[in-house]
A and B are shown apart, each in its own frame.
Chain A
Amino acid sequence: MFLAIIVLVSPIFGIILADIVGFHEPLDIAAERLELQDLSKNMNWTPLFKYNIPGISPEIGYIISGLLGIAIILGAGLIFKGFVKQH
């Protein structure tokens, strides 16, 4: 429940406020000033690039991505738990 609340409010910080002030990590700022090329978009392998889902608003995509990430981690834990129980 707590995790779901965090994910539900996360677009306020990750998308909305970030757009207002111009979100960048310190490393991104340094790279931008150095005009360094970020190759991420050129060699992307996932449709969920940076927590966005194509065709869905960034805010909703951010929430779904958050829930998906949590589900994957918890799911992996459950699978591992089942594996450990069997052996």
Chain B
Amino acid sequence: MHIPDGFLDITTATVTYIIFIVFGYYALRKIRGMMESEMISFVSILAAGIFAVQMLNWPLPGGTSLHFVGGALAGILLGPWLGFLTICSVVLVQAFIFHDGGITTLGANALNMAIIAVLIGHFSYEFLIRNFGNRDSIRFLGAFLGGWLGIVIAGAAVAIQIGYSQSFPYGIAITIPVMVGWHAVLGIIEGIITGLTIIYLSRRAPQLLSIRGDVK
């Protein structure tokens, strides 16, 4: 999911950077005044945890691999603004310290993982909880759907970005089926891990599911 340098042309890179910066500015305004000591600790611990889990690449025979992205989990636990901040800090450390994902493509990577995956995860979960009740089966289904759909839509966004980029020799007619197809399969694991994590937390630490408080 991390787009390296050289995959996006200047236009695509610029547009994604602008979206990232505008969303980031808006998110920071939204959470201003809500960043109390406990919340900062939770955000940084969750970010550190997601960073660590992302290092567990599960290689699959055939040459691909999967790893947990965590965007939906952050969105469900913290809401869209703090969830963005959580995944954004992971993506920034990966890019600047370890060059995992490019610097010219940082806006796109943040857009895909810290905005799209987080928003899709958050709203999918909220939609199911609000319409079908707040019980374990719905929580799991909502989190699974959020995790799976978040990865698939983020994968589709990657496909659109590279498909429209002049740096990439093939258009979206090829990139979307390839990326969406792969991520539809790999996203199942993301959904299962997200669902199980939410169920576990709802039973062992239910206060974490409401920690985002009044940040809307």
Chain A positions within 8 Å of B, measured between CB atoms, are 2-3, 6-7, 9-10, 13-14, 17-18, 20-27, 29-31, 34, 36-40, 43-46, 48-51, 62, 65-66, 68-70, 72-74, 76-78, 80-81, 84-85
Contact = CB atoms under 8 A, between A and B. Distances in A.
B97 interface: yes
Contacts of A18: 57, 59, 65
Contacts of B5: 38-40, 43
A50 B44 contact: no
Interface of B: 1-7, 35-37, 40-41, 43-45, 47-49, 51-53, 55-65, 89-90, 93-94, 96-100, 102-103, 155, 158, 162, 167-170, 175, 178-179, 182-183, 186
Overall SS of chain A's interface: helix
Nearest to A33: B178
Contact of A34 (B4, B59, B170): B170
Contacts, number: 161
Contacts of A6: 52-53, 55-56
A25 B170 contact: no
Contact of B36 (A7, A30, A39, A84): A84
A44 B59 contact: no
B98 A51 contact: yes
Given A40-B6, A72-B93, A77 B102 contact: no
Contacts of B179: 26-27, 30
A68 to B, nearest CB: 7
